[in-house]
Amino acid sequence: MRYMLMMNAPRGTGVYGVQNWAPEDFKAHIAFMHQFNRGLTAAGELVDAQGLAQPAAARLVRAGANGEPVTDGPFAETKEFLVGFWIIDVDSEQRAFEVAAGASVAPGPKGKPLNLSIEVRQILSAPSIDA
């Protein structure tokens, strides 16, 4: 079963503001993520993992009346924002929860675990168009 794990960070609390971290804290955080991903790869569970740009770069896009892109954003009032994701292929929902908990404890300033929220959602297969 495939799952998408989405790491969310609170906005405006200083808990995740990596741009304000000491360089050694940021390096430790990135080293943790690399080691975490290596463990998932070794277990044959990692499909993909990516970090995302800060919310100031995000826009919502929809098609306008003539199909042209219409954008909105950024959204400074957002309480949380998506900072990264994993796509994993595991045997059970319980294992997906275990992986999410492991990602949640990534270190922050002074090595303290961040305990960030990780949203876990199963990736569904598309129904056949012949159905």
pLDDT digits (tens, 9 = 90+) for 77-123: 667 788 899 999 999 999 999 999 999 999 999 999 999 889 999 99
- Please give the residue range of the domain that contains residue 21: 2-53+93-116
Q: Global pTM?
A: 0.84
Q: Is the residue at 17 inside a domain?
A: yes
What secondary structure does DSSP assign to 31-80, as a single string?
HHHHHHHHHHHHTT-EEEEEE---GGG--EEEE-TTS-EEEE---TT-SE
Structural domain includes residue 73: no
Select from 62, 102, 89 the least CA-distant residue to 3: 89
68 in a domain, yes or no? no
Instruction: Specify the pLDDT at position 98.
Output: 98
Q: Is residue 60 part of a domain?
A: no
User: Distance (Å, rounded) from C-alpha 34 to C-alpha 39?
Assistant: 9
Q: pLDDT value at position 101?
A: 97
The verdict on residue 70 lying in a domain is no
Q: Which of 99, 114, 104 is nearest to 4 (CA)?
A: 99
Domain tally, the chain: 1
Interval 4-63: pLDDT, tens: 999 988 765 545 678 789 999 999 999 999 999 999 999 999 999 999 887 777 788 999
